[in-house]
Structure 1
Amino acid sequence: MLNRCCFNWKLSPNIFRFSQQAAQSETPAFFTQEEISILKSEFETGGVENVQPLIQNKIKELNNTELNIAVAGDTGTGKSTFINAMRGLRSEDEGAAAVGNKETTMAPTRYPHPTLPNVRYWDLPGTGSTQFTAGSYLKKMQFQKYDFVIIVSAGRFTGNDAKLAMEINRLGKKFYFVRSKIDIDLNCMRRQRKEFDKVAEMEMIRSDCVGGLGKAGIPNHTVFLISSFEPDRYDFNRLKEALEGDLTNVKKRAFILALPIESVEIVQKKNEILKKDIWMFATLSGGMGAIPIPGLSLACDIGILIRVIIHFQQCLGLDDASLHRLANRTGKPVEELKAAVKPHLLGEITPDIIMRIGWGTAAVTVSALELALDFVPVIGSIFGAGSSFLMTFTMLRDALKDLTESAERVVRAAFEIN
């Protein structure tokens, strides 16, 4: 045991430096400076085995991060349609928020993201519902438990809009004011007027809302004009950027990964976040590789690879359910979208697929050598930590590259982007 520790000490700093360089190159913003210092200290005193539990806890924290977004406003303003749009769903999709011309929500209703269930949108009963007085509504909705609130309004700014904004502002809760159904309003104005100026009309609508909020004691508040059926137009992208910009690093990560893939820019944002995860999983793999049991490291590496690649698939909208939902939303045949994805990335990810595709060309050689060295005490342990880290890091990096390129092609095919 003493010899093993000494040999590990000689090589492990090189491995960890590679891990640090990989981590730094991907800017792991969801680690605090204190956590990074602890990681460094633990490795210096105990090597990979000491670091592994800390990495596992961080991954668990990231996976369990909750984001609760409340959507409030008058009855009939399109809250449910907005919630569906933010999750990439249509009203007939499984798990979609119910929509209709009458109030369909009598209590706060939770709608989790279809693949990241810890990201939740809450559809609150309409402020104009006869079920609530103004005072009881504000009390029963418990706004404190939400990360932020989105107030959805339609038509002219109302007294209920003002009361709701005032109370949320009084509680010190961050809120965003959304004017929905802007496409319908503009179409109506276009039919009624000989000369129609879309920009001028939008500014009039925006000024009405900003003025109403100002009279309620909330001056110069930003107002977003959106259509839930046209997420690529008007202020919808500006709204998403504002929500993202106001969240802390860990919650921002959850929000971005939960966005539906509606543009190449969103795909690229997801890619940047997922790249930051890779070194953590590679470090876990390196810890497994230091255990000198024949075949154990390779089996653990494959298990890690499969779980992480499936997670990448889901975040980038390339799992089968996500592709079908996107096809339904855009009216494109699902076969056309699947044709944009590399064949080995469709369907179930298995050990056989991982070992057959290009990612594993160099890694198979490393794993075979590692398997042989596992029978040699000391040397197997030393080489194991390095080879497992490098294998997992390289394969996940290449897999994410392939998945990202496929997701970009899917977006272009779905939304006819050149």
Structure 2
Amino acid sequence: MDWFSEFTFFTEQEMKKLQTIYDQDGLSKFATRIVTKLDDMKNAELNIAVTGEAGAGKSTFINAMRGLRASDEGAAKTGVNETTMERTPYKHPDFPNVCFWDLPGVGSLEFPMEDYVSRMEFTTYDFFIIISNDRFTENDANVAKEIQNLGKKFYFVRSQIDNDIESLKKQGIVFDRKEKLAEIKQNISCGLTKAGISDPNIFLISSLSLNEFDFPQLKETLVNNLDRMKKDVLLMSLPSTTVKIVEQKRAQLMKRIWMVAIVSGAVGAVAVPGLTFVVNPGIIATVILDFRKSLSLDDASIESLANIANKSVEFLKAEVKTPLMGEVNDALVHQMFGRSSFFVEVVQSMLPVIGSIFGAVSSYRMTYTLLTDALDELVENAQRVVKVAFATDPGHPQ
């Protein structure tokens, strides 16, 4: 992956265009282009199709990806019978630009294969999850081929794998769990290969255990196979159930900081006609609140993590030790100014175009430093919550 992909939401070509805009049109046009990119990020949508036969576990999977239980408000209906008779959208409760579409099972009298692709509007989705709780059928393979013809990505998810493991234990069968899971995956792969699907992406999961089996690898794969903005949208919507997810979120959020700081520098250096995105203590507070939500540190997210981990909300909140979890207002931001490290040389050395333009602009430097310090503090707290929630910290009980 190139450097621009690692550090910015802009392609190398877009960064060169920014330099040209600055050289030819000045700071005003330059800052306006950054604001446009921020707006594009805010409005970016992600549509994920989840398909499979009745009882495969589609609804439970959709709920898990949105951090919900079946009993929660807005959860997808679950049941052994086909509860979905038309494609049904389920927006993420905190990130409404992320939408999971629960599609009816293919192959029934109501949804024959020849009509399925058009009726389910396959062209509108960013990628597909094909779910089964047993073996994948000919219908599943046919759906995959249709998706492949559209040039879109798809992933085979074998759900309820915990039931398979538990069943073997109850039968008194002695087995190595790692080897057994590899055997199940190999059998699935062979079946799909015979059906005409080469190198299928297969994940064995339990939608009731987000950190077990292949669920962490599935989430990581989905995120890494998306482009810059859609990658950001999906990653921020995922429950922060592992330290690695928190670290990935930090890397993504760092990409936003310099953009906000650039606009701050532009506003601090010159008057920008028509520019409404003005960085001030109120804007900084808003960004910090966005950080909290993205890192699963807002009240709703902590409650969801408590439900997933079977821990009390109070137990998790006790691990959050930062004033940034209280009211984030102008007074708090002014306190942050007082203890700022005012360190920005690293970002300038990594972004020569930006560094050369804003190296001497104090508003850019201060905004970057304040938001970086706030992000680091929130990440540290988010990691601590994850460790105690999922018992990865040996100092806390299971």
Detail structure 1 runs of 4+ shifted over 6 Å in the superposition: none
Is 1:254 the counterpart of 2:229? The answer is no
Aligned length: 374
Aligned to 1:417: 392
Q: Is the 8 A contact 1:81 1:91 kept in 2?
A: yes
Task: Kindly state the Cα deviation for residue 195 of structure 1 after the two structures are TM-superposed.
Answer: 2.5
Aligned equivalent of 1:397: 372
The 1:135/1:46 distance shift into structure 2, 3 A limit, reads closer
Structure 2 equivalent of residue 333 of structure 1: 312
1:396 alignment partner AA: L
Distance in 1 separating the partners of 2:326 and 2:102:
33
**SS of match in other structure, 2:206:** coil
Is 1:361 the counterpart of 2:338? The answer is yes
Question: Which of 91, 105, 122 lines up with 1:143 in the alignment?
Answer: 122
Normalised TM-score (structure 2): 0.86
Tell me whether 1:89 sits opposite 2:73 in the alignment: no
Which residue of the partner structure matches residue 349 of structure 2? Answer: none
Q: CA deviation at 1:46?
A: 4.6
Q: Superposed, which structure 2 residues align to 1:128-207 within 5 Å?
A: 131-207=110-186
The residue correspondences of 1:212-251 to structure 2 (distance < 5 A) are 212-251=191-230
Shift of 1:292: 7.1
Q: Which amino acid in the other structure matches residue 97 of structure 2?
A: N
In 1, the alpha carbon distance for the partners of 2:138 and 2:9 equals 41
Alpha-carbon offset, residue 27 of structure 1: 4.7
Deviations 1:139-192 (A, max 9, x none): 311111111111001113323323322332333332111111000011112222
For 2:293 and 2:281, the matched residues in 1 are separated by 18
- Residue 77 of structure 2: SS of its match in structure 1? coil
Secondary structure of 1:121 counterpart: strand
Q: Which moved more, 1:393-402 or 1:249-258?
A: 249-258
**2:45–2:98 Cα contact (<8 Å) kept:** yes
**Cα drift, residue 39 of structure 1:** 1.7
Q: Within the alignment, does 1:310 sit opposite 2:289 as a pair? A: yes
Q: Can you give the 5+ residue segments of structure 2 that lack an aligned partner in the other structure? A: 343-357, 394-398
Higher helix residue share: 1
Q: 1:284 and 1:233 mapped to 2: Cα distance?
A: 42
CA contact (8 A) 1:75 1:129 kept: no
Higher Cα Rg: structure 1 or 2? 1
C-alpha separation in 2, matches of 1:79 and 1:45: 53
Change (3 A) 1:191 1:324: same
Q: CA 1:291–1:170 in 2, change beyond 3 Å: closer, same or farther?
A: closer
Confirm whether residue 320 of structure 1 aligns to residue 299 of structure 2: yes
For 1:275 and 1:170, the matched residues in 2 are separated by 37
2:10 to 8, 31, 47: 31
Q: Distance in 2 between matches of 1:363 and 1:261?
A: 27
Structure 1: distance between partners of 2:11 and 2:159 = 38
Separation in 2 of the partners of 1:413 and 1:274? Answer: 23
8 Å CA contact 2:260, 2:279 repeated in 1: no
TM-fit CA distance, 1:363: 6.2
User: 3-state SS of the aligned residue for 1:155?
Assistant: coil
Shift of 1:362: 5.3
User: Does the 8 A contact of 2:4 with 2:10 survive in 1?
Assistant: no
Deviation at 1:313, TM superposition (A): 0.8
Matches within 5 A, 1:346-357: 346-356=325-335
CA positional deviation for 1:220: 3.3
Aligned partners of 1:265 and 1:391: how far apart in 2? Answer: 29
Measured against aligned partners, the alpha-carbon deviations of 1:44-70 in whole angstroms (never above 9, x if no partner) come to 345432311011001011111121111
Does the CA-based 8 Å contact 1:74-1:126 persist in structure 2? Answer: yes
| Pairwise CA distance, 1:223 | 1.5
In structure 2, what is the Cα distance between the partners aligned to 1:231 and 1:362?
A: 38
Aligned equivalents of 1:239 and 1:414: distance in 2?
21
1:129, CA displacement in angstroms? 5.1
Q: Distance in 2 between matches of 1:387 and 1:29?
A: 22
Calculate the TM-score normalised by the size of structure 1: 0.82
- Does the 8 Å contact 1:48/1:286 carry over to 2? no
Identity of aligned residues (%): 46
Which one-letter code corresponds to 2:174 in the other structure?
A: E
Contact map agreement 2:241 2:305 (CA 8 A) in 1: no
Change (3 A) 1:347 1:135: farther
Supply the RMSD in Å over aligned alpha carbons.
Answer: 2.8
- The answer to whether structure 1 residue 277 and structure 2 residue 256 are counterparts is yes
